[in-house]
């Protein structure tokens, strides 16, 4: 029983972790992208459509990454080239993504999906309990773990990561030192969009292998909160992602227990638990302003126009 619940929590947490990791990198470069939800849903519809048309869930993953990445380039063009307001642009792209994905996916509604198969690692998958939990998962789960450690190394151990953090902390000084701020931010935005698209692909190929309009269901907003919750640290983000995933799965089990016990708890209230938890966590974090200010990129959300 516990093993089955843990497997469900892992499946529910993976898209949150991946989308939040992409946003973490984007924000470390000083760009605030509130369009994660729109990029995630575009990745979901692109992944499902690609898998349906080709019959390959692995090409579906690629389709989701491309779908989210292309949508992020639109955000980058508007905010980095045209220097539009990042908050307003992100909100607009979220609304656009939700509407456009519904239109593109209309013909796929009701179709059976192409599920991404699990990768069973010989011998290790036979270990009691941990074998099935850790060594018999789908490709996107393994990619999420690799991304956590890869991004952690990149940000805090590589020269390119140091430059990116320098841009996020003070883009003016970084520009004066000869660092190409706009190019670096474009790459960060593209990476964030690709991660959001990959998270969307997990939704339509693993979590619920079908296309349902608005199937991202606010996960992009939770991913944004996760970045703050983790203080822009990848390893903390991994723990936070599984915490929020557990809350989401917990509310489903709470609904079943309430129904079986005859307790009249509104299902809408239980469905809101993940978002209530998000608000509570943000309130708790806001009390420790010193820690938040130390870790927040100082140039986050600020436009940059290079000297002519």
Q: Comparing 236 with 295, which gets the higher pLDDT?
A: 236
Position 262 pLDDT exceeds 60: no
Domain ranges of the chain: 2-295
Place of tokens 């996107």: 140
Tell me what pLDDT residue 51 has.
95
Range 200-217 average pLDDT: 92
Q: Is 215 exposed, middle or buried (0-12, 13-18, 19+ CB in 10 A)?
A: buried
Tell me what pLDDT residue 139 has.
95
Name the residue among 202, 258, 211 with its Cα closest to residue 14.
202
Residue 256: band (very low, low, confident or very high) from pLDDT cuts 50, 70, 90: low
Model confidence over 40-77: pLDDT tens digits? 999 999 999 999 999 999 999 999 999 999 999 999 99
Provide the H-helix boundaries in the chain. Answer: 2-28, 36-54, 57-76, 86-104, 130-135, 139-157, 159-169, 171-176, 181-202, 219-229, 234-260, 267-271, 273-287, 289-295
Name the residue among 43, 47, 41, 45 with its Cα closest to residue 106.
45
Q: Which residues have a Cβ under 8 Å from the Cβ of 6 and sit 6 or more positions away?
A: 133
CB 98 within 8 A of CB 231: no
Length of the chain: 308
Q: Which residues have a Cβ under 8 Å from the Cβ of 161 and sit 6 or more positions away?
A: 153, 154, 155
Both structure tokens of 308:
């002519």
Model confidence over 112-143: pLDDT tens digits? 889 999 998 888 788 887 788 888 899 999 99
Position 168 pLDDT exceeds 80: yes
The domain 2-295 having CATH identifier 1.10.3470: the answer here is yes
The span from the CA of 103 to the CA of 286, in Å, is: 39
Model confidence over 267-290: pLDDT tens digits? 666 667 777 777 777 777 666 666
């Amino acid at each position: 029983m516990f093993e089955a619940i843990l497997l469900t929590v892992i499946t529910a947490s993976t898209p949150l972790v991946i989308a939040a990791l992409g946003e973490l990198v984007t924000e470390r470069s000083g760009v605030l992208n509130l369009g994660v939800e729109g990029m995630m849903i575009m990745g979901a519809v692109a992944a499902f459509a690609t898998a349906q048309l080709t019959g390959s869930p692995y090409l579906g993953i690629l389709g989701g990454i491309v779908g989210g990445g292309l949508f992020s380039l639109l955000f980058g063009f508007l905010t980095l080239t045209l220097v539009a307001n990042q908050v307003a642009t992100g909100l607009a792209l979220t609304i656009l993504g939700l509407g456009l994905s519904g239109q593109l996916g209309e013909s796929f509604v009701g179709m059976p999906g192409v599920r991404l198969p699990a990768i069973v690692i010989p011998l290790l998958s036979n270990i009691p309990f941990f074998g099935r939990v850790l060594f018999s998962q789908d490709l996107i789960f393994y990619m999420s773990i690799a991304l956590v450690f890869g991004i952690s190394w990149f940000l805090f151990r590589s020269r390119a990561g140091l430059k990116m953090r320098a841009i996020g902390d003070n883009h003016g000084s970084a520009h004066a030192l000869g660092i190409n701020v706009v190019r670096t931010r474009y790459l960060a935005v593209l990476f964030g969009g690709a991660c959001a698209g990959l998270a969307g692909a997990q939704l339509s190929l693993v979590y619920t292998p079908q296309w349902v309009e608005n199937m991202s269901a606010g996960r992009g907003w939770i991913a944004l909160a996760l970045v703050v919750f983790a203080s822009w640290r990848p390893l903390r983000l991994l723990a936070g992602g599984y915490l929020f995933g557990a809350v989401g799965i917990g509310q489903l089990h709470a609904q079943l227990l309430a129904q079986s016990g005859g307790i009249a708890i509104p299902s809408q209230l239980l469905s809101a638990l993940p978002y209530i938890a998000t608000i509570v966590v943000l309130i708790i974090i806001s009390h420790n302003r010193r820690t938040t200010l130390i870790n927040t990129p100082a140039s986050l959300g600020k436009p940059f126009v290079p000297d002519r």
